[in-house]
């Protein structure tokens, strides 16, 4: 096509000139067309291409691609036509909630859901998606040829999602109702944008069905499996449409079962004329005499004595007098146009074919072009509909061809079809498109029968109504009234072609008003009431349609589902009977009083709201929240009344404890009655039974069971130890395993209140073990399957796992994604808090995937930098974690979380926050050994995605080792997305207060606690919350108060001479209490007695002096070394005295360091938060760093010892680019 830029006048002129060119060339537009089925794609391609499209095969061999050109609105369309096979995406909960043992069923109502590409066994859907993506790469238009209903609109939006919502891709929707040339070309002329509202309605229905179905299915399945025998392998599912459908069957079954016959009596009068009907009977035979039977106006009486008295009165005076004779025209109306529901009912009644088979056959006929779209609710044709071509197509048929000819040749025989009151604005009623062309065209029996019903129904709709005369006669016998009626059919009309209804003539004798006659007989008949018949499929479809259960396309699926779930059975006479399980479930929910689950009104209300979403009168969020809230309320009530469900099922099923043998009495303690429970076993499982509470607790399948000397803090049940088949021991609480507590109950760590018959708890799945719990219990590990940080390789999250070597993080999308993150082996457990890290949230954190703060539990005494009661973030924003992890001997973990220079990670975003496409690649993004980025200019931002990354003045990320001393030159500033004057992820200006001891300016804490100064592993100082309860994180050298702040009175405190080579320094010169200073980044401010403070500088608050020997990142005086490199041999430099690997990466040439003197120091010690000294000489240093400074104390940490065979702390430089040599 012609390249055109937006808002470019030159391009407009060129386009106009191009359109007016004399060569008559037209713009070619690349168009991707997608149909719902391969057969539809083939048919539409043949129509639009004129019959010869080019066919090729892509990744999906069953969904070929057709290529042709098509002229449209003075444009040439380069058409590619492919298809899907129904839905390509499915909605489900995230990976963490999919296992039945992952959560409490109630949590499924609020669990995050995602709509992803379906995972087929043969990867067919993935191949279809890949096929569409390949074709959509160069497409400019996307025309969606999906079925024109709500479901088709939803599939259309799935195709759009697969193709990617690109601004240059024009989305169009084709609306058609049949696969004929006129209809397809009309659809091309009337393309419209897709309707998101229809797709939203389907998404709402799918999400509600998913949440309600999954929650109720898990709850009732696992509860009943633990309580009743014979249900161990059954999935007792719940469906919002299945249970009302089951309710119709059960209610009719109970009406039949509970029916009690009752006797009744009635009077019947019979009359026969004296003269025979002329011309009646066979030739030569005696003509029959007309007769009739008069019915009693009282119908019937259930009192035999009263009926006998009235009968005797009639016998006393048996003469009958005609009191009324009324003759009037009678009409048998022709049927309304055919809908999906009526088609299913007709075929089921006539041929006993199931609704599912009927729809499948109709779908095949539609794809072959014999009938119009078979899924429609419309029962009225449009006024512009031309019926003649469709009738003419049936004139050659041997069965109804003659009748079709009659409709065409006799104007008085044809009549426009009746108009119903339903119109879905998508498809016309079902009608034939062409003749069947002999038996060879339609060979399958079901298809032939369905096609016959469609044709006969359409011809009947185009016919006149049947007409006749009806005569009503009333007589009186001694005060008792009787009546009869006769029918004479004058014109049969549609009845000649439509055998699915009957209208029989009834010949009666001729009567005149006032006529007196003696009846042939007056009889007293006895009878009894009969039970109604069980529902057949046509009756069930009628009830479902009447009550709004399902749609025309899903009713058959709901019926099939309750049969597959073994809730009902279909007898040979096409009648439905509930099974024992279906009857018990319905009776249980009915006993609890929850008609919402078994009655149709609740589902009908949802279907009504979905229609309002389609019209724009409701939003998807409003409907979704309203109905989920109702389901949660019903769910909670069901759980509280679950004992009523158990009582109903006990009538039909045996309790599970009766199938177990007693093995050991007084085995473990019951938390409810405080008595001892009994251990019962079978060949494959174990069970704890409390005789006092009548409660059974099924244990997981295991090799051995033993009591454990500990009571669960949540329910006071004694914990038991299970030994797996691999001889591995683990602990469980029997009641928590049987009925897992909610997350709120675990975090509260308070006893769960006992409710009568153990029905009050929110029960969930089996398999809840102590290491899954988050309670305050020594056995609780917690946090498993909960997201911790976003996965850097995919769109899922890293979750906590436990292996043979301890805890680690792995992707929840395993095995598709094999991303893994090791954790220190000294960690005993990792517990998630569910609280999103505040700092990472500002960098692009996801509230569903994290990063979340976690609690670390250590096998030994925890490091002092990370108290066990405080939470940390594993995404890389916590400055203390590197020092701790390195001290624990897991340097590879520290490098993973805090990558250093040269690792190939170029954007300074915490681990997992950057999307996979934004992560650096090996080409063009590596760092030279000297620290200079190659392939990108210095200071460039990430072209893929920019994050607000907190960086130090030297360009390093929070928690990462600085490559130079604070305030030194930037070593790889190209990795940063902001300049060196960037502020931490908090307010750009924060109010401050003066330190009570030193008078130093200290930022105010967000949570009201006092803030303290601390130092990161690179030696840069920052302010944080003293209680670690909020996200305060301010660099000491860049933070600014938002207003003019008072400065405290002078404080004098001597610093130890060992800290600086220049001798003792006294901090003086602080102004009076009334003095104030206004700080601006990068500009000096004169404060009080001549002291200058520079805000926003490179090396902290400058007070006019610099030490003669610089301090390294560890806070120690740097060691003077001599380079041994060839190009810098003999040149001296300062480095960390600790050496590698225990020290920092501090480096500074000695000739670049100019020692100055000053009169004061505003620095605070990061250990004790006092002025006058730094951390290296702090008296409390040994107490605060003992947890990580000694390698032997932690079992393997580096303690600064010399290498074997060396006489000093020899250390090699990072590379020639930095000019480092050997230290001497």
How confident is the model over 1062-1083, as pLDDT tens digits?
Answer: 333 333 333 333 333 333 333 3
| Separation CA 494–CA 458 (nearest Å) | 10
What is the rounded distance in angstroms from the CA atom of residue 264 to the CA atom of residue 928?
105
CA–CA distances in Å: residue 992 to residues 365, 1032, 1040, 1166 = 79, 12, 8, 18
1112 HSE (CA, 13 A, CB side): 23
What is the structure's pLDDT at 901?
Answer: 34
Q: What confidence tier does 745 reach under pLDDT thresholds 50, 70, 90?
A: low
pLDDT one-digit tens code per residue, 204-260: 999 999 999 999 999 988 888 878 877 877 888 888 888 889 999 999 999 999 999
DSSP state of 494: G
Distance CA(410)–CA(496), nearest Å, equals: 15
- 1011, two tokens: 């803030």
Query: Residue 1003 — pLDDT band, cuts 50, 70, 90?
Result: confident
In this prediction the pTM is 0.59
Span 549-557, mean pLDDT?
A: 84
Question: Residue 320's pLDDT is what?
Answer: 95
Output the pLDDT for position 54: 92
Mean pLDDT of 1039-1058: 40
Closest among 196, 216, 135 to 169, alpha carbons compared: 135
947 or 376, greater pLDDT: 376
The per-residue pLDDT for 977 is 29
Q: What is the pLDDT of residue 194?
A: 92
Half-sphere exposure of 905 (CA within 13 A, CB side): 21
Question: What is the pLDDT, as a whole number, of residue 266?
Answer: 95
Q: Please report the pLDDT score of residue 382 as a whole number.
A: 84
Which secondary-structure segment (H or E) carries 526?
A: strand 521-528
Strand partners for 70: 77
- Rounded CA-CA distance 81/40 in Å is 10
pLDDT value, residue 1188: 35
**Residue 67 pLDDT:** 94
Residues 6+ apart with CB under 8 A from 504: 487
Helix axis angle for 601-615 and 620-640, nearest 10°, is: 160
- Looking at residue 1170, what is its pLDDT? 61
Three-state SS at 117: strand
Selection from 836, 844, 897 nearest residue 871 by Cα = 836
Do the bridges between strand 75-83 and strand 28-35 make them parallel or antiparallel, or are there none, so unpaired? parallel
The reported pLDDT for the residue numbered 8 is: 41
pLDDT: is 1151 or 376 the higher one? 376
Kind plus residue range of the DSSP H or E element containing 185: helix 181-189
Measure the CA dihedral 892/895/897/899, to 10°.
Answer: -160
Average pLDDT over residues 803-824: 78
Nearest to 873 by CA among 810, 959, 945: 959
Which pLDDT belongs to residue 395?
92
Per-residue pLDDT, 696: 79
E-assigned strand segments in 849-951: 852-858, 872-873
Ranges of beta strands (E only) in 657-700 are 661-669, 676-681, 686-690, 695-699
Indicate the helix (H) or strand (E) that contains 1147.
strand 1147-1149
Is the predicted pLDDT of residue 261 greater than 90, yes or no? yes
Two tokens at 1139? 């050496």
Confidence band of 536 (pLDDT split at 50, 70, 90): very high
pLDDT at position 880 is: 65
Whether 947 shows a pLDDT value over 80: the answer reads no
Residues involved in catalysis: 373
CA distance 320 to 313: 12
**Confidence band of 443 (pLDDT split at 50, 70, 90):** confident
Above pLDDT 90, what percent of the chain?
A: 31
Over residues 123-133, the mean pLDDT reads: 91
Higher pLDDT pick, 396 / 1187: 396
Task: Please give the angle made by the CA atoms of 473, 476 and 482, to the nearest 5 degrees.
Answer: 55
Least confident of 307-311, 437-441, 1134-1138: 437-441
Average pLDDT on 585-593 reads 84
Question: What is the Cα–Cα distance from 272 to 166, expressed in whole angstroms?
Answer: 85
Average pLDDT over residues 449-469: 95
Sheet holding 827-836, edge to edge: 827-836, 852-858, 872-873
| Whole-angstrom distance, CA of residue 228 vs CA of residue 234 | 11
Q: What percent of the chain has pLDDT over 70?
A: 67
Average pLDDT over residues 1024-1033: 72
Q: Which tokens is 1102 given?
A: 């400058």
Cis peptide before 417 (omega within 30 of 0): no
Mean pLDDT in residue range 720-738: 83
Read off the DSSP letter of residue 1118: P
Query: Quick one: average pLDDT of 443-471?
Result: 94
Q: How many helices (H) and strands (E) does the chain have?
A: 27, 43
Using one digit for the tens of pLDDT, what is the confidence trace for 951-987? 333 333 333 333 333 333 333 233 222 233 333 333 3
Please check whether residue 199 is in contact with residue 161, taking contact to mean a CB–CB distance below 8 angstroms. Answer: no
Higher pLDDT, 1008 or 21: 1008
- Lowest mean per-residue pLDDT among 97-111, 162-176, 228-242, 874-888: 874-888
Q: What are the tens digits of pLDDT across the range 50-81?
A: 888 999 998 988 899 999 999 888 888 999 99
Q: Is 1100 or 503 the better-scoring residue by pLDDT? A: 503
| Tokens coding 85 | 């096979």
**Quick one: pLDDT band at residue 877, thresholds 50, 70, 90?**
confident
Mean pLDDT rounded to a whole number for the chain? 74
Contact call for residues 1025 and 1005 (beta carbons, < 8 A): yes
What CA–CA distance (Å, rounded) separates 482 from 160?
Answer: 70
The answer to whether 26 and 43 are in contact (CB under 8 A) is: no
Tell me: pLDDT of 193 over 50: yes
pLDDT band at 687; cut points 50, 70, 90: confident
pLDDT at 1202: 38
Q: How far apart are CA 386 and CA 393, in angstroms?
A: 13
Which residues are paired to 69 by β-bridges? 78
The pLDDT value recorded for residue 159 is 93
Q: How far apart are the C-alpha atoms of 6 and 848, rounded to whole Å?
A: 38
Give the model's confidence band at 885: pLDDT under 50 very low, under 70 low, under 90 confident, else very high.
low
Report which of 179, 198, 197 is spatially closest to residue 187, judged by C-alpha positions.
179
Cβ partners under 8 Å of residue 355, min gap 6: 344, 348, 537, 541, 555, 556, 559
* Rounded Cα–Cα distance for residues 678 and 692 (Å): 11
Angle of CA points 728, 733, 737, to nearest 5°: 90
Mean pLDDT of 1115-1125: 80
Q: Cis bond leading into 737, ω under 30°?
A: no
Average pLDDT, stretch 141-158? 90
Locate the DSSP E strands across 844-893. Answer: 852-858, 872-873
Residue 307 main-chain phi, psi, to 5 deg: -65, -35
Confidence band of 1052 (pLDDT split at 50, 70, 90): very low
Residue 776 has what pLDDT?
A: 67
Report which of 1217, 1183, 1179, 1192 is spatially closest to residue 1142, judged by C-alpha positions.
Answer: 1192
pLDDT band at 121 (very low <50, low <70, confident <90, very high): confident
Q: What is the mean pLDDT of residues 708-728?
A: 86
Cα 307 to Cα 639: distance, rounded to the nearest angstrom: 55
Q: Are 886 and 1191 in contact (CB under 8 A)?
A: no
**Among 523, 482, 491, 484, which Cα is nearest to 507's?**
484
Q: Dihedral, CA atoms, 258, 263, 265, 266, nearest 10 degrees?
A: 20
Distance of alpha carbon 551 from alpha carbon 564, whole angstroms: 20
Among the listed residues 390, 444, 393, 435, the one whose alpha carbon sits nearest the alpha carbon of residue 417:
390
- Summarize the confidence of residues 479-489 as an average pLDDT: 95
913's CB contacts (< 8 A; 6+ apart) are: 790, 840, 843, 844, 845, 851, 875, 947
Buried b (16+ CB within 10 A) or exposed e, 250-283: bbbbeeeeeeeeeebbbbebebebeeeeeeeeee
Q: In terms of Cα–Cα distance, which of 907, 845, 914, 915 is closest to 873?
A: 845
What angle, rounded to 10 degrees, do the helices at 642-650 and 580-592 form? 140
């Amino acid at each position: 096509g012609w390249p055109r830029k937006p808002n470019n006048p030159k391009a407009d002129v060129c386009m106009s000139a191009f359109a007016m060119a004399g060569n008559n060339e037209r713009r070619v537009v690349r168009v991707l067309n997608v149909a719902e089925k391969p057969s539809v794609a083939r048919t539409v391609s043949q129509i639009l291409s004129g019959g010869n499209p080019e066919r090729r095969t892509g990744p999906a061999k069953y969904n070929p691609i057709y290529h042709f050109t098509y002229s449209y609105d003075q444009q040439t369309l380069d058409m590619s036509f492919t298809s899907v096979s129904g839905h390509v995406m499915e909605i489900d909960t995230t990976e963490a909630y999919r296992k039945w043992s992952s959560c409490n069923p109630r949590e499924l109502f609020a669990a995050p859901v995602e709509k992803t590409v379906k995972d087929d066994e043969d990867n067919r859907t993935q191949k279809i998606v890949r096929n569409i993506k390949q074709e959509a790469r160069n497409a400019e238009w996307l025309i969606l040829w999906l079925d024109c209903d709500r479901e088709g609109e939803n599939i259309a939006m799935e195709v759009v999602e697969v193709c990617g919502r690109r601004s240059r891709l024009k989305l169009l929707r084709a609306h058609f109702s049949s696969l004929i040339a006129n209809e397809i070309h009309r659809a091309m002329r009337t393309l419209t944008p897709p309707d998101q509202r229809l797709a939203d309605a389907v998404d709402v229905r799918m999400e509600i069905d998913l949440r309600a179905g999954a929650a109720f299915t898990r709850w009732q399945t696992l509860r009943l499996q633990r309580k009743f025998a014979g249900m161990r392998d059954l999935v007792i599912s719940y469906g919002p449409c299945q249970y009302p459908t089951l309710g119709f069957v059960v209610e009719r079954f109970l009406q039949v079962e509970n029916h009690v016959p009752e006797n009744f009596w009635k009077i019947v009068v019979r009359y026969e004329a004296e003269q025979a009907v002329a011309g009646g009977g066979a030739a030569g035979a005696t003509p029959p005499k007309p007769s009739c039977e008069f019915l009693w106006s009282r119908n019937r009486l259930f009192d035999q004595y009263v009926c006998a008295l009235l009968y005797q009165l009639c016998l006393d005076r048996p003469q009958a007098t005609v009191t009324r004779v009324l003759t009037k025209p009678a009409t048998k109306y022709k049927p309304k146009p055919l809908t999906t529901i009526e088609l299913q009912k007709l075929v089921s009644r006539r041929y006993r074919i199931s609704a599912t088979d009927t729809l499948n056959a109709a779908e095949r006929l539609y794809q072959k072009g014999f009938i119009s779209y078979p899924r429609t609710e419309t029962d009225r044709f449009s006024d512009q509909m031309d019926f003649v071509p469709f009738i003419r197509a049936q004139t050659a048929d041997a069965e109804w061809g003659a009748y079709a000819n009659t409709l065409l040749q006799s104007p008085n025989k044809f009549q426009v079809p009746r108009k119903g009151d339903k119109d879905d604005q998508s498809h016309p009623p079902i009608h034939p498109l062409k003749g069947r062309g002999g038996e060879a065209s339609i060979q399958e029996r079901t298809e032939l029968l369905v096609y016959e019903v469609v044709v006969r129904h359409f011809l009947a709709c185009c016919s006149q109504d049947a007409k006749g005369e009806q005569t009503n006669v009333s007589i009186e016998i001694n005060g008792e009234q009787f009546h009869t009626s006769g029918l004479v059919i004058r014109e049969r009309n549609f009845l000649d072609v439509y055998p699915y209804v009957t209208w029989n003539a009834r010949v009666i004798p001729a009567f005149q008003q006032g006529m007196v006659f003696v009846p042939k007989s007056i009889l007293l008949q006895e009878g009894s009431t009969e039970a109604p018949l069980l529902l057949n499929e046509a009756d069930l479809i009628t009830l479902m349609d009447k009550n709004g259960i399902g749609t025309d396309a899903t009713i058959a699926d709901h019926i099939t589902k309750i049969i597959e779930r073994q809730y009902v059975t279909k007898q040979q006479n096409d009648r439905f009977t509930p099974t024992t399980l279906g009857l018990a479930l319905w009776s249980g929910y009915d006993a609890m009083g929850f008609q919402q689950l078994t009655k149709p009104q609740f589902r009908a209300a949802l279907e009504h709201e979905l229609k309002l979403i389609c019209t724009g009168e409701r939003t998807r969020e409003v409907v979704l929240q309203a109905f989920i809230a109702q389901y949660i309320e019903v769910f909670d009530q069901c759980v509280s009344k679950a004992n009523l469900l158990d009582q109903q099922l006990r009538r039909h099923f045996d309790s599970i404890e009766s199938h177990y043998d007693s093995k050991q009495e007084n085995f473990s303690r019951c938390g409810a009655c405080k008595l001892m429970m009994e251990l019962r076993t079978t060949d494959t499982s174990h069970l704890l039974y409390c005789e006092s509470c009548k409660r059974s607790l099924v244990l997981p399948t295991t090799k051995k069971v033993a009591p454990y000397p500990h009571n669960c803090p949540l329910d006071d049940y004694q914990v038991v130890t299970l030994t797996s088949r691999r001889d591995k021991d683990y602990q469980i609480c029997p009641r928590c395993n049987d009925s897992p507590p909610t997350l709120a109950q675990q975090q509260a760590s308070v006893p769960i209140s006992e409710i009568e018959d153990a029905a009050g708890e929110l029960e969930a799945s089996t398999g809840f073990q102590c290491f899954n719990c988050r309670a305050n219990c020594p056995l609780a590990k917690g946090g498993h399957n909960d997201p911790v940080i976003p996965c850097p390789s995919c769109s899922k999250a890293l979750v906590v796992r436990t292996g043979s070597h301890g805890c680690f993080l792995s992707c929840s999308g395993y095995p598709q994604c094999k991303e893994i993150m090791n954790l220190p082996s000294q960690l005993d457990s990792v517990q998630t808090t569910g609280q999103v890290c505040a700092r990472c949230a500002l960098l692009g954190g996801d509230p569903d995937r994290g990063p979340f703060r976690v609690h670390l539990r250590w096998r030994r005494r925890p490091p002092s930098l990370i108290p066990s009661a405080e939470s940390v973030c594993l995404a890389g924003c916590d400055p203390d974690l590197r020092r701790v992890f390195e001290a624990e001997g897991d340097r590879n973990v520290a490098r993973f979380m805090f990558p250093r220079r040269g690792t190939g990670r170029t954007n300074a975003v915490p681990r997992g926050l950057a999307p996979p496409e934004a992560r650096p690649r090996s080409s063009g993004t590596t760092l030279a050994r000297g620290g200079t980025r190659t392939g990108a200019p210095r200071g460039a931002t990430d072209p893929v995605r920019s994050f607000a990354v907190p960086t130090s003045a030297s360009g390093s990320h929070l928690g990462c080792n600085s490559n130079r001393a604070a305030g030194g030159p930037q070593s790889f500033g190209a990795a940063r997305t902001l300049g060196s004057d960037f502020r931490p992820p908090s307010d750009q200006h924060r109010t401050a207060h003066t330190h009570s001891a030193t008078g130093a300016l200290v930022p105010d804490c967000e949570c009201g606690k006092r803030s303290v100064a601390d130092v990161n592993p690179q030696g840069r100082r920052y302010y944080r919350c003293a209680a670690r309860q909020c996200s305060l994180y301010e660099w000491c050298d860049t933070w600014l108060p938002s207003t003019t702040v008072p400065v405290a009175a002078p404080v004098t405190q001597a610093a130890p001479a060992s800290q600086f080579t220049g001798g003792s320094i006294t901090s003086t010169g602080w102004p009076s209490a009334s003095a104030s200073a206004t700080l601006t980044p990068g500009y000096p401010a004169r404060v009080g007695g001549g002291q200058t403070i520079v805000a926003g500088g490179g090396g902290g608050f400058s007070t006019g002096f610099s030490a003669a020997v610089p301090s390294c990142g560890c806070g120690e005086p740097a060691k003077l070394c001599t380079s041994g490199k060839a190009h810098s041999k003999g040149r001296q430099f300062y480095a960390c005295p600790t050496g590698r690997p225990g020290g920092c990466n501090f480096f500074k040439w000695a000739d670049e360091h100019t020692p100055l003197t000053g009169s004061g120091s505003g620095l605070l010690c990061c250990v004790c938060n006092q002025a006058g000294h730094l951390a290296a000489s702090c008296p409390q240093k040994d107490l605060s760093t003992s947890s990580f400074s000694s390698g032997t104390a932690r079992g393997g940490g580096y303690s600064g010892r010399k290498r074997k065979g060396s006489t000093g702390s020899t250390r090699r430089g990072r590379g020639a680019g930095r000019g480092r040599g050997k230290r001497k």
